[in-house]
């Protein structure tokens, strides 16, 4: 089934939760809803499911208007952040419940329950009650219950958030495989840019109830349409600094950083811009010949795993530098930071993308 | 290195041991002491073995009081539990109504027990009581001081009025703790209101309902003040429950030996009943509290 939202909005009292969303979703594809907490991801999912009625706009399924159709008459499955299972049912009965309500024969129910239990590695836990399972197993049960239905629309609202790191990685990989075999519209909400990148598919970036950008995940990542998308779809958020293009050079931060206008930046007209660069494209050591160095003072340096995140002050603007390896940098220390012009984004005065670096693959091919 | 026993830890538990001794063990042992002796005057007692236990267990008055007590507790539980759950389900979930309802519900719980008895004693009177007069006006011959049935009904209604709010408040707390996602999931599944109650709300409330049931059972099984004030155990012995029987034995007749023996039996009965209730509820829908 295909799902289309036409100009959908939702206001509660005087608060706008969702505004003017236009979105078409194709069957068999995977959509990531990316946005910070309170961006409206859950609200939008509830509208897609039919749990809530939009206050404006229409919801279409396969071209037919279902805006007023209650959720029980739609073919929808949903998985939540919390582990939602019937507490007094065994894993088997939990998975079987949507099928039994649909009135399927015993054999058919049994076959499909065992099949989806197998997919989610619950085969030996079918007699247990949810209370006797670990968090990961409980969420697997909830996922199996959603998958067994063969719903045309499968909504996953941050399903892995309450699991520990290891389990999350494991389930994420499995889910990607399971979804790739489905013909449903799968929508997966997350707050983490890295999760969106791992899951692939399409990404819909939401912020404060508005749709900022929609496209193939890697396109959105490499060509964020606006500064807001750049901020949302980077962890840590993309670094920005105001600058000016004059006489074949871009002067950033009042001239502290001077970039030659080459490559993708060659075409931009003189004027004022905001320049953006992701933390992983900044370094405290020189990587390439044409790296540009500039001075910055260290405000904080934190080590995460085998990487160092250095928070620096560049002409009054706070930036984060992500550097491979463990570096110890003292507070207030003046250091040199390196940036390569080929990784710099330019946004106009309204925050819209003007120039973005070519995709990594394309760049490699050009060299 | 040689190991030597370090007994310092005992000093740390000593205060608790002393406290428990004075608050529980010594009084209990005193009762045990009385229950196996015939005490004629202070410092002069004879060991009588199980005589008091035998006498008390064959006492017809005790049998009557025990039967009434069990019937009373079961009646009260059968009314209070479903009624409390129903009230909890009917309460509003948001807005100013929540606090208003909770305060109204909590009022009976805040009234001292003997005052509850006094309130109902007056309220249920046929001549000047609002409730009693209203029932009489309906043409019913109602008099709780003369008719055993009327006295029973009055005591049960008083108990229900007094304690159902506790069950309702506990059940309400249990209901509020259920994440909204459960209800959404039920809607997506197309579950009926009954299915939501039976398969989501009831199992999720199991923990608090167990506590409510145990509290209500123990309290109702030990009820003393309210019927004592309302009916004084009458008419006849119609509303004499175990506590009141025990008090008459110990304070009224000063039969300390049998009274002590009976105290121990009473204690054991409550312990056994509570244990049975607890086990039954544990077995029912295991793991549902999570």
pLDDT at residue B49, as a whole number: 78
A46 vs B191: CB contact, 8 Å cut-off?
no
A206, A249: one domain? no
Residue of A nearest to B287 (CA): A131
**Of A313, A317, A316, which Cα lies nearest the Cα of A329?**
A313
Q: Which residue is it, tokens 């009385």?
A: B34
Measure in Å the smallest separation between the Cα of B181 and chain A Cα atoms: 7
Angstrom distance (rounded) from CA A325 to CA A305: 9
Number of domains in chain A: 2
A131 vs B190: CB contact, 8 Å cut-off?
no
User: Of the residues A232, A257, A281, which one is the last residue of a structural domain?
Assistant: A232
A149, A207: one domain? yes
Which residue among B181, B182, B290 sits closest to A131, beta carbon to beta carbon? B290
For residue B135, give both structure tokens: 């029932």
Domain with A128 in it: what CATH number? 3.40.50.300
Question: What is the 3-state secondary structure of A81-112?
Answer: CCCCCCCCCCHHHHHHHHHHHCCCCHHHHHHH
Query: Is there a cis peptide before residue B38, judged by omega within 30 degrees of 0?
Result: no
The Cβ of residue B275 has, within 10 Å, a number of other Cβ atoms equal to 11
Which residue among B181, B199, B288 sits closest to A82, beta carbon to beta carbon? B181
Domain range for A44 is: 3-232
Q: Which residues of chain B have pLDDT under 70?
A: 1-4, 284-290
A213, A158: one domain? yes
Average pLDDT over chain B, rounded to whole?
85
- A143 conformational bin, left if phi > 0, alpha if psi -120 to 50, beta if neither: alpha
pLDDT at residue A367, as a whole number: 35
B188 vs A71: CB contact, 8 Å cut-off?
yes
User: Of the residues A232, A266, A288, which one is the last residue of a structural domain?
Assistant: A232
Domain with A314 in it: what CATH number? 2.40.50.140
Q: With H, G, I as helix, E, B as strand and everything else as coil, classify residue A282.
A: strand
A109, A204: one domain? yes
A167, A209: one domain? yes
Question: Is residue B100 within 8 Å of residue B118, measured between CB atoms?
Answer: no
Predicted confidence (pLDDT) per residue in A32-86, tens digit: 999 988 888 999 999 998 888 899 988 988 888 888 888 888 889 999 998 999 9
CA-based radius of gyration for chain B: 24
Question: A137: part of which helix (H) or strand (E)?
Answer: helix A135-148
A194, A317: one domain? no
A146, A53: one domain? yes
Q: Which residues of chain A have pLDDT under 70?
A: 360-367
Chain A interface test: which of B186, B197, B287 (most A C-beta within 10 Å): B287
A195, A327: one domain? no
A26, A91: one domain? yes
Enumerate residues 6+ apart whose C-beta is below 8 A from B30: none
pLDDT at residue B4, as a whole number: 66
Angstrom distance (rounded) from CA A244 to CA A71: 53
For residue B112, give both structure tokens: 């001292």
Task: Please list every residue in chain B whose beta carbon sits closer than 8 Å to the beta carbon of residue A82.
Answer: 179, 181
A79, A225: one domain? yes
Angstrom distance (rounded) from CA B16 to CA B5: 22
A81, A125: one domain? yes
Question: Is residue B83 within 8 Å of residue B212, measured between CB atoms?
Answer: no
A86, A159: one domain? yes
pLDDT at residue B77, as a whole number: 93
pLDDT at residue B89, as a whole number: 93
- Find how far residue A256's CA is from the centre of its chain: 33
pLDDT at residue A363, as a whole number: 45
Angstrom distance (rounded) from CA A143 to CA A132: 17
User: Of the residues A213, A232, A251, which one is the last residue of a structural domain?
Assistant: A232
Beta bridge partners of A312: A298, A319
Domains of chain B as residue ranges with CATH: 9-47 (no CATH), 51-283 (1.10.3720.10)
Average pLDDT over chain A, rounded to whole?
87
């Amino acid at each position: 089934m295909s799902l289309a939202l036409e100009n959908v909005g939702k206001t509660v009292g005087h608060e706008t939760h969702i505004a003017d969303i236009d979105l078409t979703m194709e069957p068999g594809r995977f959509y990531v809803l990316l946005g910070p907490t309170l961006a409206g991801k859950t609200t939008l999912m509830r509208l897609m499911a039919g749990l809530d009625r939009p206050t404006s706009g229409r919801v279409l399924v396969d071209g037919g208007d279902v805006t007023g159709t209650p959720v029980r008459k739609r073919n929808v499955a949903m998985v939540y952040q919390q582990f939602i299972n019937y507490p007094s049912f065994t894993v088997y009965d939990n998975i079987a419940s949507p099928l039994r309500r649909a009135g399927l024969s015993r054999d058919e129910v049994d076959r499909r329950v065992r099949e989806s239990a197998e997919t989610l590695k619950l085969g030996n836990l079918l007699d247990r009650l949810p209370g006797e399972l670990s968090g990961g197993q409980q969420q697997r049960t909830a996922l199996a219950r959603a998958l067994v239905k063969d719903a045309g629309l499968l909504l996953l609202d941050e399903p892995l958030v309450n699991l520990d790191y290891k389990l999350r990685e494991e389930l994420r990989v499995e889910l990607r495989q399971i979804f790739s075999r489905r013909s449903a519209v799968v929508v997966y909400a997350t707050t983490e840019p890295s999760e969106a990148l791992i899951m692939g598919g399409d990404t819909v970036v939401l912020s404060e109830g508005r749709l900022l950008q929609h496209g193939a995940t890697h396109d959105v990542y490499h060509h964020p349409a606006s500064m807001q998308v750049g901020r949302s779809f980077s962890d840590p958020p993309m670094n920005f600094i105001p600058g000016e293009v004059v006489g074949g050079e871009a002067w950033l931060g009042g001239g502290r950083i001077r970039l030659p206008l080459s490559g993708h930046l060659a075409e931009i007209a003189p004027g004022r811009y905001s320049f953006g660069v992701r933390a992983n494209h900044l370094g405290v050591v020189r990587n390439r010949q044409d790296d540009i160095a500039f001075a910055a003072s260290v405000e904080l340096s934190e080590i995460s795993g085998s990487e160092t995140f250095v928070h620096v002050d560049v002409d009054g603007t706070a930036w984060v530098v992500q550097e491979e390896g463990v570096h110890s940098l003292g507070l207030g220390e003046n250091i040199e930071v390196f940036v390569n012009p080929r990784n710099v984004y330019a946004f106009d005065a309204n925050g819209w993308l003007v120039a973005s670096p070519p995709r990594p693959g394309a760049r490699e091919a050009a060299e | 290195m040689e190991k030597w026993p370090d007994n310092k830890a005992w000093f740390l538990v000593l205060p608790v041991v002393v406290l428990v001794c004075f608050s529980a063990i010594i009084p209990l042992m005193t009762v045990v002491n009385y229950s196996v002796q015939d005490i004629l005057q202070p410092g002069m007692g004879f060991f009588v073995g199980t005589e008091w236990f035998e006498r008390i267990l064959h006492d017809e008055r005790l049998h009557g009081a025990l039967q009434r007590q069990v019937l009373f507790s079961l009646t009260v539980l059968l009314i209070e539990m479903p009624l409390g759950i129903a009230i909890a389900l009917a309460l509003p979930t948001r807005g100013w109504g929540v606090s208003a309802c909770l305060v109204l519900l909590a009022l009976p719980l805040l009234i001292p027990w003997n005052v509850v008895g006094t309130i109902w004693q007056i309220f249920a009177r046929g001549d000047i009581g609002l409730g009693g007069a209203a029932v009489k006006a309906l043409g019913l011959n109602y008099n709780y001081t003369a008719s055993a049935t009327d006295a029973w009904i009055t005591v049960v209604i008083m108990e229900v009025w007094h304690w159902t709010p506790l069950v309702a408040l506990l059940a309400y707390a249990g209901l509020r703790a259920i994440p909204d996602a459960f209800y959404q999931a039920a809607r997506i599944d197309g579950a009926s209101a009954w299915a939501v109650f039976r398969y989501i709300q009831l199992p999720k409330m199991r923990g608090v309902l167990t506590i409510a049931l145990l509290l209500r059972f123990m309290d109702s099984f030990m009820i003393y003040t309210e019927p004592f004030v309302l009916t004084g155990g009458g008419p006849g012995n119609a509303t004499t429950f175990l506590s009141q029987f025990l008090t008459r034995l110990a304070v009224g007749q000063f039969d300390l030996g049998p009274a002590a023996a009976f105290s121990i039996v009473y204690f054991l009965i409550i312990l056994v009943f509570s244990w049975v209730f607890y086990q039954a509820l544990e077995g029912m829908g295991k793991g549902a509290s999570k």
